[in-house]
Amino acid sequence: MKCTAAKGAAESTVKTFYIETFGCQMNAHDSEKVVGTLLNQGYSQVPTPDEAELVFYNTCSIRDKAEQKVFHRLDQFKKNGKGKTFAVLGCVAQQEGERIFEKAPHVSLVCGSASYNKLPELLVQLETGNRRVTGLSLDTDLTFETPVTRRDNPHRAYITIIEGCDKSCAYCVVPFTRGPERSRTSASVIAEASELARAGYSEIQLLGQNVNSYRDPSPAGWDFAKLLDQVGRVDGIRRVRFTTSHPRDFVKEIIDAIDANPALCNHVHLPAQSGSSRVLDSMQRLYTREQYMTRIAWMKAAKRPIAISTDIIVGFPGETEADFEATLELIDEVEYDSIFSFKYSRRPNTVALRLNDQIPEEEKSRRLTILQEKQRAIQVRRNAAYVGTVEECLVEGFNQATGQWIGRTSQNKTLNFLRRGEEDLRGLYVEARVTRAGPNSLAGECVN
Ligand code: SAM
Ligand code: SF4
């Protein structure tokens, strides 16, 4: 754990807190900011809920299963949670609001991500004995900027550049749980990247539900491609990644920026969701398969080989066997380096909830298995092509069991490698020759 700044802790009544995070990288980074805020307020973090006076769950509601997890956790404390204060943060908090107090009466704080900038005052209300505290307003232009982020990774740092989402994909709760889009000023993003570089971070990951729709609210007026390039030019920053992109807003200038600036990693995550234009239309994704493939063609024509990953949903209402076949053809045609694949899950408030022709659960499972098996074979093939090549890796850790260092390539592939000597390589950039490849990782030996 590395702390970029955490000052001003009140020395006297130190309260302990525990936090567990569910869901995406945005949530992971929100938790880093929440932890920083809590430390700054004088709280002290403990590793288990049993040791904590305050228990925070930062939740995800993207699929039903994710949502249920937090209620299982809370149930465990229904009887033996006396003396503890429970707080539900994030997407389930925003979606369920005060209903959480009915479902789990031992919860005292419910706060959505658009209200995190009010956390210090909500914590004061809790401290003064308030039993039901909420922060649920989505009516904000503000982003959650905090100088006291407590970062989990000592080498790679997340920077949020845009919060919320203005799209309305028919299956998705995010616009309801994270509110409308708000971009940060380019000056504050560059200042954070510079400060991180000074603190020793060399890799930055720019975050947003749709980073491509970033619009600098300051007079500088940068778009995403400009911001990406400029972050890659900050002294000391060696690698820049970004997630997530939306095909509708993904412009060729982003690939031009990657081509022109070696600090920008040659990996793009471009969620397709489906290979059928008919399903894409009913998902309200705002692009066709052909338009999606145009973006893929830009990447395939880039100077450096760009690794491509995606998200796919199977079993969206009305998805026929032919639509599913079109998705299988898409993954064959693109030859993704990796995919995240999900069974469609019905979510509250969304348009798809009202669509007829819901696909039975067993059929969704069947399609998911077929898709994942096909993708596994593609990854075996693609990774095998790296055998014999030399790749630059940022060393992220050491595996005691195998005696291998764990590295990550610019293309976001895990490369486990051997190296003689006692030197601690963590945080360093080394070159490794790939000698073996599996579906999910590469293996090799260090050449320097
Ligand atoms: N904003 C990003 C985007 O547009 O791709 C990510 C949103 S979400 C955190 C990540 C992925 O979850 C989506 O790309 C989609 O594949 C999946 N997802 C979202 N809603 C879903 C649902 N109702 N059922 C199944 N998968 C879902
Ligand atoms: Fe959800 Fe679509 Fe927004 Fe992504 S772009 S967060 S899938 S509504």
**Is 156 close to ligand 1, i.e. is its CB under 6 Å away?**
no
Taking 80 as the threshold, does the pLDDT of residue 167 lie above it?
yes
CA 64–ligand 1 middle distance (angstroms): 12
Mean pLDDT of 14-23: 93
Give residue-wise pLDDT tens across range 253-284: 999 999 999 999 999 999 999 999 999 999 99
For ligand 1, atom 25, name the residue with the nearest CA: 344
Q: Which atom of ligand 1 is nearest to the CA of 60?
A: 9
Taking 90 as the threshold, does the pLDDT of residue 381 lie above it?
yes
pLDDT band at 232 (very low <50, low <70, confident <90, very high): very high
Q: What percent of the chain has pLDDT over 90?
A: 88
CA 204–ligand 1 middle distance (angstroms): 23
Taking 80 as the threshold, does the pLDDT of residue 94 lie above it?
yes
Ligand with minimal distance to 349 CA: 1
Comparing 135-144, 155-164, 230-239, the range with the smallest average pLDDT is 135-144
pLDDT attached to residue 9: 40
pLDDT attached to residue 4: 39
pLDDT band at 421 (very low <50, low <70, confident <90, very high): confident
Give residue-wise pLDDT tens across range 41-63: 899 999 999 999 999 999 999 99
For ligand 1, atom 15, name the residue with the nearest CA: 311
pLDDT band at 148 (very low <50, low <70, confident <90, very high): confident
**Is 62 close to ligand 1, i.e. is its CB under 6 Å away?**
yes
pLDDT band at 11 (very low <50, low <70, confident <90, very high): very low
Taking 70 as the threshold, does the pLDDT of residue 441 lie above it?
yes
Ligand with minimal distance to 269 CA: 1
Mean pLDDT of 175-204: 96
Give the residue with greater pLDDT, 128 vs 190.
190
Taking 60 as the threshold, does the pLDDT of residue 236 lie above it?
yes
For ligand 2, atom 4, name the residue with the nearest CA: 209
Q: Highest mean pLDDT: which of 9-13, 154-158, 267-271, 417-421?
A: 267-271
Taking 90 as the threshold, does the pLDDT of residue 121 lie above it?
yes
Q: What percent of the chain has pLDDT over 70?
A: 97
The rounded mean pLDDT for the chain is 94
pLDDT attached to residue 14: 67
pLDDT attached to residue 6: 41
pLDDT band at 161 (very low <50, low <70, confident <90, very high): very high
SS (H, E, C) the chain: CEECCCCCCCCCCCCEEEEEECCCHHHHHHHHHHHHHHHHCCCEECCCHHHCCEEEEEECCCCHHHHHHHHHHHHCCCCCCCCCEEEEEHHHHHHHCCHHHHHCCCEEEEECHHHHHHHHHHHHHHHCCCCCEEECCCCCCCCCCCCCCEECCCCEEEEECEECCCCCCCCCCHHHHHCCCEECCHHHHHHHHHHHHHCCCCEEEEECCCHHHCECCCCCCCEHHHHHHHHCCCCCCCEEEEECCCHHHCCHHHHHHHHHCCCECCEEECCCECCCHHHHHHCCCCCCHHHHHHHHHHHHCCCCCCEEEEEEEECCCCCCHHHHHHHHHHHHHHCCCEEEEEECCCCCCCHHHHCCCCCCHHHHHHHHHHHHHHHHHHHHHHHHCCCCCEEEEEEEEEECCCCEEEEEECCCCEEEEECCCCCCCCCCEEEEEEEEECCCCEEEEECC
For ligand 2, atom 1, name the residue with the nearest CA: 172
CA 221–ligand 1 middle distance (angstroms): 29
Pocket lining for ligand 2, CB < 6 angstroms: 165, 167, 169, 172, 174-175, 209-210, 246
Comparing 71-85, 88-102, 278-292, the range with the smallest average pLDDT is 71-85
Give the residue with greater pLDDT, 114 vs 274.
274
pLDDT attached to residue 388: 98
pLDDT attached to residue 13: 62
Q: Which atom of ligand 2 is nearest to the CA of 246?
A: 5
Taking 90 as the threshold, does the pLDDT of residue 2 lie above it?
no
pTM of the model as a whole: 0.94
pLDDT attached to residue 1: 37
Comparing 62-71, 246-255, 325-334, the range with the smallest average pLDDT is 62-71
Comparing 9-13, 189-193, 322-326, the range with the smallest average pLDDT is 9-13
